[in-house]
Amino acid sequence: MLVKHAVKLELIEDIDALWQRIVETLATVGIDHAIYLTVDADFQNPFLRCTHNGIYGQTPPEEDPFLRYACQSYDILSIGAEFVHGHPYITDKERNFVERAGRAGITAALGIPMRLQGTDRFGGFIVGTGLDQLSFNKKILPRAEEIRLFCLLMHRRLEELTSSAPAPVTTEFRKPLLAPSLPDRFDVLSPREREVVYLLARGRSRQEAAEICNISVHTVSDYAKSGYRKLGVNNRAQAAAILLGQT
Protein backbone atom coordinates (compact mmCIF):
# COMPACT_ATOMS: atom_id res chain seq x y z
CA MET A 1 0.00 0.00 0.00
CA LEU A 2 2.64 2.56 1.04
CA VAL A 3 4.91 1.72 -1.89
CA LYS A 4 2.07 2.40 -4.33
CA HIS A 5 1.82 5.89 -2.85
CA ALA A 6 5.58 6.31 -3.30
CA VAL A 7 5.17 6.00 -7.07
CA LYS A 8 3.29 9.31 -7.17
CA LEU A 9 5.37 11.00 -4.48
CA GLU A 10 8.55 10.43 -6.49
CA LEU A 11 7.24 12.92 -9.05
CA ILE A 12 6.95 15.80 -6.58
CA GLU A 13 9.56 18.51 -7.15
CA ASP A 14 8.97 20.75 -4.12
CA ILE A 15 10.45 19.53 -0.84
CA ASP A 16 7.76 21.05 1.38
CA ALA A 17 5.00 19.57 -0.75
CA LEU A 18 6.77 16.22 -0.67
CA TRP A 19 7.06 16.29 3.12
CA GLN A 20 3.37 17.08 3.47
CA ARG A 21 2.47 14.11 1.27
CA ILE A 22 4.85 11.85 3.20
CA VAL A 23 3.10 12.80 6.44
CA GLU A 24 -0.34 12.26 4.91
CA THR A 25 0.68 8.87 3.53
CA LEU A 26 2.12 7.66 6.83
CA ALA A 27 -1.11 8.73 8.52
CA THR A 28 -2.97 6.11 6.46
CA VAL A 29 -1.19 3.36 8.45
CA GLY A 30 -1.72 4.97 11.83
CA ILE A 31 1.36 7.19 12.14
CA ASP A 32 0.50 10.40 14.03
CA HIS A 33 3.89 12.14 13.88
CA ALA A 34 6.86 11.94 11.54
CA ILE A 35 10.40 13.26 11.87
CA TYR A 36 13.12 13.21 9.21
CA LEU A 37 16.46 14.21 10.71
CA THR A 38 20.01 14.04 9.33
CA VAL A 39 23.26 15.60 10.51
CA ASP A 40 26.89 15.75 9.45
CA ALA A 41 29.30 13.11 10.77
CA ASP A 42 30.18 15.50 13.64
CA PHE A 43 26.49 16.02 14.55
CA GLN A 44 26.39 19.49 12.98
CA ASN A 45 24.15 21.15 10.35
CA PRO A 46 20.92 19.28 11.06
CA PHE A 47 18.34 18.95 8.31
CA LEU A 48 14.94 18.55 9.94
CA ARG A 49 11.38 18.01 8.86
CA CYS A 50 8.98 17.41 11.72
CA THR A 51 5.23 17.41 12.32
CA HIS A 52 5.75 18.75 15.84
CA ASN A 53 8.67 21.19 15.97
CA GLY A 54 7.93 21.95 19.63
CA ILE A 55 9.59 18.64 20.48
CA TYR A 56 12.94 20.31 19.91
CA GLY A 57 12.13 23.47 21.87
CA GLN A 58 14.49 22.56 24.73
CA THR A 59 16.73 20.05 22.95
CA PRO A 60 18.49 20.85 19.66
CA PRO A 61 17.77 18.29 16.90
CA GLU A 62 21.42 17.21 16.81
CA GLU A 63 21.08 16.01 20.42
CA ASP A 64 18.19 13.66 19.66
CA PRO A 65 19.21 10.27 21.14
CA PHE A 66 17.99 8.62 17.93
CA LEU A 67 21.12 9.89 16.20
CA ARG A 68 23.48 8.64 18.90
CA TYR A 69 22.03 5.18 19.47
CA ALA A 70 19.62 4.04 16.73
CA CYS A 71 22.02 4.95 13.91
CA GLN A 72 24.62 2.42 15.01
CA SER A 73 22.93 -0.22 12.83
CA TYR A 74 20.24 -0.48 10.17
CA ASP A 75 17.87 -2.21 12.59
CA ILE A 76 14.46 -0.70 13.20
CA LEU A 77 14.13 0.23 16.87
CA SER A 78 11.01 0.65 18.96
CA ILE A 79 11.56 3.94 20.77
CA GLY A 80 9.64 6.53 22.76
CA ALA A 81 8.38 6.85 26.33
CA GLU A 82 6.61 3.47 26.13
CA PHE A 83 9.90 1.75 25.32
CA VAL A 84 12.37 3.87 27.27
CA HIS A 85 12.80 1.14 29.89
CA GLY A 86 14.35 -1.02 27.18
CA HIS A 87 17.16 1.49 26.61
CA PRO A 88 18.83 1.82 30.05
CA TYR A 89 22.01 3.25 28.51
CA ILE A 90 20.50 6.66 27.72
CA THR A 91 21.37 9.60 29.97
CA ASP A 92 18.96 11.37 32.28
CA LYS A 93 18.93 14.35 29.91
CA GLU A 94 18.04 12.09 26.99
CA ARG A 95 15.37 10.34 29.06
CA ASN A 96 13.82 13.72 29.85
CA PHE A 97 13.74 14.51 26.13
CA VAL A 98 11.97 11.21 25.38
CA GLU A 99 9.44 11.86 28.13
CA ARG A 100 8.78 15.41 26.85
CA ALA A 101 8.19 13.96 23.39
CA GLY A 102 5.73 11.55 24.97
CA ARG A 103 3.80 14.40 26.55
CA ALA A 104 3.75 16.06 23.12
CA GLY A 105 2.09 12.97 21.65
CA ILE A 106 4.93 10.66 20.59
CA THR A 107 4.70 7.84 23.12
CA ALA A 108 5.72 4.95 20.86
CA ALA A 109 7.67 5.16 17.61
CA LEU A 110 9.84 3.38 15.10
CA GLY A 111 13.38 4.67 14.70
CA ILE A 112 14.38 3.90 11.10
CA PRO A 113 18.03 4.69 10.28
CA MET A 114 18.84 5.56 6.67
CA ARG A 115 22.61 5.94 7.10
CA LEU A 116 24.93 4.92 9.89
CA GLN A 117 26.75 7.23 12.25
CA GLY A 118 30.23 7.93 10.85
CA THR A 119 29.23 8.54 7.22
CA ASP A 120 29.29 12.05 5.75
CA ARG A 121 25.68 12.51 6.82
CA PHE A 122 23.50 10.15 8.79
CA GLY A 123 20.09 9.95 10.41
CA GLY A 124 16.73 8.80 9.20
CA PHE A 125 13.05 8.72 10.09
CA ILE A 126 11.24 8.62 13.41
CA VAL A 127 7.60 7.69 12.86
CA GLY A 128 5.54 7.96 16.00
CA THR A 129 2.13 7.44 17.57
CA GLY A 130 0.33 8.22 20.78
CA LEU A 131 -0.31 4.52 21.41
CA ASP A 132 0.67 2.48 24.43
CA GLN A 133 3.23 -0.28 23.96
CA LEU A 134 0.71 -3.12 23.60
CA SER A 135 -1.37 -1.30 20.99
CA PHE A 136 1.75 -0.14 19.12
CA ASN A 137 3.12 -3.68 18.94
CA LYS A 138 -0.21 -4.90 17.60
CA LYS A 139 -1.03 -2.14 15.10
CA ILE A 140 2.28 -0.67 13.91
CA LEU A 141 5.07 -3.18 14.46
CA PRO A 142 3.72 -5.76 11.95
CA ARG A 143 4.02 -3.11 9.22
CA ALA A 144 7.54 -2.03 10.18
CA GLU A 145 9.25 -3.39 7.04
CA GLU A 146 6.63 -1.86 4.76
CA ILE A 147 7.09 1.48 6.52
CA ARG A 148 10.87 1.17 6.30
CA LEU A 149 10.80 0.59 2.55
CA PHE A 150 8.53 3.58 2.03
CA CYS A 151 10.87 5.71 4.15
CA LEU A 152 13.88 4.52 2.16
CA LEU A 153 12.26 5.58 -1.08
CA MET A 154 11.29 8.93 0.39
CA HIS A 155 14.79 9.38 1.85
CA ARG A 156 16.22 9.02 -1.64
CA ARG A 157 13.77 11.56 -3.01
CA LEU A 158 14.52 14.01 -0.22
CA GLU A 159 18.24 13.61 -0.94
CA GLU A 160 17.66 14.29 -4.61
CA LEU A 161 15.76 17.47 -3.83
CA THR A 162 18.26 18.80 -1.28
CA SER A 163 21.51 18.05 -3.09
CA SER A 164 22.67 17.86 -6.69
CA ALA A 165 25.66 15.77 -5.62
CA PRO A 166 25.39 11.98 -5.45
CA ALA A 167 24.90 10.53 -2.00
CA PRO A 168 28.20 9.45 -0.43
CA VAL A 169 29.03 5.77 -0.67
CA THR A 170 30.54 4.11 2.37
CA THR A 171 31.91 0.70 3.21
CA GLU A 172 28.60 -0.04 4.93
CA PHE A 173 27.22 -0.72 1.45
CA ARG A 174 30.13 -2.91 0.32
CA LYS A 175 28.74 -6.06 1.88
CA PRO A 176 27.86 -8.75 -0.70
CA LEU A 177 24.20 -8.37 -1.54
CA LEU A 178 22.70 -10.52 -4.27
CA ALA A 179 19.03 -10.61 -5.15
CA PRO A 180 17.29 -13.28 -3.05
CA SER A 181 14.30 -15.33 -4.12
CA LEU A 182 12.06 -12.85 -5.89
CA PRO A 183 8.47 -12.90 -7.22
CA ASP A 184 7.97 -14.84 -10.45
CA ARG A 185 7.65 -11.61 -12.45
CA PHE A 186 11.39 -11.08 -11.94
CA ASP A 187 12.15 -14.28 -13.88
CA VAL A 188 12.18 -12.29 -17.15
CA LEU A 189 15.27 -10.40 -15.98
CA SER A 190 18.89 -11.34 -16.47
CA PRO A 191 20.87 -12.07 -13.26
CA ARG A 192 22.46 -8.60 -13.33
CA GLU A 193 19.15 -6.88 -14.07
CA ARG A 194 17.61 -8.74 -11.13
CA GLU A 195 20.38 -7.57 -8.84
CA VAL A 196 20.27 -3.94 -9.94
CA VAL A 197 16.47 -3.67 -9.88
CA TYR A 198 16.39 -5.37 -6.48
CA LEU A 199 18.93 -2.95 -5.01
CA LEU A 200 17.14 0.11 -6.37
CA ALA A 201 13.75 -1.19 -5.25
CA ARG A 202 15.15 -1.68 -1.74
CA GLY A 203 16.08 1.99 -1.59
CA ARG A 204 19.73 1.99 -2.69
CA SER A 205 20.89 4.85 -4.88
CA ARG A 206 22.38 4.15 -8.32
CA GLN A 207 25.78 5.13 -6.95
CA GLU A 208 25.45 2.59 -4.14
CA ALA A 209 24.23 -0.12 -6.52
CA ALA A 210 27.24 0.56 -8.73
CA GLU A 211 29.56 0.19 -5.73
CA ILE A 212 27.93 -3.05 -4.61
CA CYS A 213 27.91 -4.59 -8.11
CA ASN A 214 31.38 -3.25 -9.00
CA ILE A 215 30.10 -1.60 -12.18
CA SER A 216 29.73 2.00 -13.31
CA VAL A 217 26.73 4.19 -12.52
CA HIS A 218 26.09 4.42 -16.27
CA THR A 219 25.92 0.62 -16.48
CA VAL A 220 23.57 0.53 -13.49
CA SER A 221 21.29 2.95 -15.34
CA ASP A 222 21.34 0.74 -18.43
CA TYR A 223 20.45 -2.38 -16.42
CA ALA A 224 17.74 -0.48 -14.56
CA LYS A 225 16.14 0.78 -17.77
CA SER A 226 16.14 -2.64 -19.39
CA GLY A 227 14.90 -4.29 -16.19
CA TYR A 228 12.09 -1.79 -15.73
CA ARG A 229 11.08 -2.21 -19.38
CA LYS A 230 10.84 -5.99 -19.01
CA LEU A 231 8.81 -5.64 -15.80
CA GLY A 232 6.50 -3.08 -17.38
CA VAL A 233 7.30 -0.39 -14.81
CA ASN A 234 8.79 3.10 -14.99
CA ASN A 235 10.68 3.57 -11.73
CA ARG A 236 12.04 2.02 -8.52
CA ALA A 237 8.84 2.64 -6.55
CA GLN A 238 6.80 0.58 -9.01
CA ALA A 239 9.46 -2.14 -8.91
CA ALA A 240 9.27 -2.09 -5.12
CA ALA A 241 5.52 -2.63 -5.32
CA ILE A 242 6.14 -5.79 -7.34
CA LEU A 243 8.81 -6.86 -4.86
CA LEU A 244 6.26 -6.62 -2.06
CA GLY A 245 3.62 -8.43 -4.10
CA GLN A 246 1.38 -5.36 -4.18
CA THR A 247 0.79 -5.42 -7.96
Q: Which are the contacts of 51, defined by CB distance < 8 A and separation ≥ 6?
A: 23, 32, 33, 34, 35
> What was the pLDDT predicted at 165?
41
> What was the pLDDT predicted at 184?
85
99 and 79 Cβ atoms separated by less than 8 Å? no
Taking the C-alpha atoms of residue 23 and residue 104, their distance in angstroms, rounded to an integer, is 17
Largest CA distance in the chain: 55
Give per-residue pLDDT as tens, 39-50: 998 999 999 999
Per the prediction, the chain carries an average pLDDT of 87
> What was the pLDDT predicted at 246?
58
pLDDT at position 53 over 80: no
Count of beta carbons in the 10 Å neighbourhood of residue 6 = 25
Give per-residue pLDDT as tens, 121-139: 899 999 999 999 999 999 9
Q: What is the mean pLDDT of residues 227-232?
A: 93
Assign 3-state DSSP to the chain and report helix, strand, coil percentages, each to 5: 55, 15, 30
> What was the pLDDT predicted at 115?
84
> Cα–Cα distances in Å, from 89 out to 65, 86, 120, 148?
11, 9, 25, 25
Measured torsion, CA atoms of residues 144, 95, 49, 31, in degrees rounded to the nearest 10: 40
Taking the C-alpha atoms of residue 194 and residue 196, their distance in angstroms, rounded to an integer, is 6
Count of beta carbons in the 10 Å neighbourhood of residue 199 = 25
Q: What is the mean pLDDT of residues 90-111?
A: 95
All structural domains of the chain: 2-162 (3.30.450.80), 171-243 (1.10.10.10)
pLDDT at position 171 over 50: no
Run of H or E residues at 38: strand 33-40
Beta bridge partners of 77: 111
